[in-house]
Amino acid sequence: MTDQLLSIGQIADRVGLSVSAVRYYDAIGLIQTRTRVSGKRRFDPDTVGRVNFVRRAQESGFSLEEISLILDDTAGGWRELVGAKLTELHERRDRLDVMISMLADVQSCGCQVVAGCDRYERPDPC
Amino acid sequence: MTDQLLSIGQIADRVGLSVSAVRYYDAIGLIQTRTRVSGKRRFDPDTVGRVNFVRRAQESGFSLEEISLILDDTAGGWRELVGAKLTELHERRDRLDVMISMLADVQSCGCQVVAGCDRYERPDPC
DNA sequence: CTACGACCTCATGTTGACTTGATGTCAAGG
DNA sequence: CCTTGACATCAAGTCAACATGAGGTCGTAG
């Protein structure tokens, strides 16, 4: 066994990120280097889970700064933040639904070019 | 009546964008200046609808370049593009749902700090 | 001994979607 | 006639989230 600490390359591999991205996360304090072995970073294994969370949160539109706040806030303020974000995500999903049906609508019309089609504005046929 | 063409300021007001943003859209060919009156841009009124579409599409994660393609492609390729985007949007919505339930889950746990909570990784309680 | 691969730092480049600043033009109102 | 406000151009700045490149350090394999 290689000790349970992970190198930056191992972290990168396990989460599907580049080494430089992981280094960046470290630099901005999103993750923490547990210790160094002759200058090289060694991470706690649970960093993998943390970074995976980061990636999922990013996909949902959170900035790295927001994610940092949510993950590490110890004052309890994160609950409020998460609540606000949830509202935002619900709105986002609603808009996404609108967009989806609108696109589906546009796609199923007979128009040659979308710019000339009114389905992207009104619900009536072209 | 002021003639039906709109100034850049009027466009900006109606879509809730800055004048410089509209100018930018013009510069990259996303919208078109119909004509100029002593150097000043005059737009077709339907530009408003077009820009509104642009904003909505942006909210759903399209880049301006993609939006341009979708709006103006005359070769019919846009249908395919829109189809691909629809698939993408569905995936996005699914991930959003996952994220929403995960966040809701995390929020409703008793943890002091999210980083120490495992709900963002597994479905079991903290 | 040397080469290699993985790591290091620090500085700078990249992309998208704008914004900001400097400087100039133009028509209308007082 | 002069000022004002809306417009114009062009260059450069901004922000996030990295990527890239130069130059140096390690430990190990051959």
Judged by C1' against the alpha carbon of B21, the nearest nucleotide is C18
Any chain B CB within 8 A of the CB of A75?
no
pLDDT, mean of residues B98-116: 81
Residue B119 near residue B109 (C-beta atoms within 8 A): yes
pTM of the predicted protein model: 0.81
pLDDT for A121? 62
Q: Choose from A7-21, A61-75, A104-118 the range with maximum mean pLDDT.
A: A7-21
Reported confidence tier of residue A123, pLDDT bands at 50, 70, 90: very low
Any chain A CB within 8 A of the CB of B101?
no
Question: Among A31, A55, A74, A120, which would you mutate to test the B interface (most chain B Cβ atoms within 10 Å of its Cβ)?
Answer: A120
Predicted confidence (pLDDT) per residue in B4-56, tens digit: 899 999 999 999 999 999 999 999 999 999 999 999 999 999 999 999 989 98
* Residue of chain B with shortest Cα separation from A104: B86
Residue A81 has pLDDT above 70, yes or no: yes
Any chain A CB within 8 A of the CB of B28?
no
* Residue nearest C15, CA–C1′ metric: B63
* Contacts with A99 from chain B: Cβ below 8 Å: 56-57, 59-60, 89
Mean of pLDDT over chain A: 85
Percent of chain A topping pLDDT 70:
90
* Residue of chain A with shortest Cα separation from B93: A93
pLDDT, mean of residues A21-45: 96
pLDDT, mean of residues A86-97: 86
- C1' of D12 to CA of A83 (Å): 40
pLDDT for B74? 81
Percent of chain B topping pLDDT 90:
42
pLDDT, mean of residues A115-119: 69
Residue A45 has pLDDT above 80, yes or no: yes
pLDDT for B21? 97
pLDDT for A16? 95
pLDDT for B40? 97
SS (H, E, C) chain B: CCCCCECHHHHHHHHCCCHHHHHHHHHCCCCCCCEEECCEEEECCCHHHHHHHHHHHHHCCCCHHHHHHHHHCCCCHHHHHHHHHHHHHHHHHHHHHHHHHHHHHHHCCCCCCHHHCHHHCCCCCC
What's the burial of B22, exposed, middle or buried (CB within 10 Å: 0-12/13-18/19+)? Answer: buried
* Contacts with A85 from chain B: Cβ below 8 Å: 103
- C1' of D24 to CA of A35 (Å): 21
Any chain A CB within 8 A of the CB of B59?
yes
Residue A3 has pLDDT above 70, yes or no: no
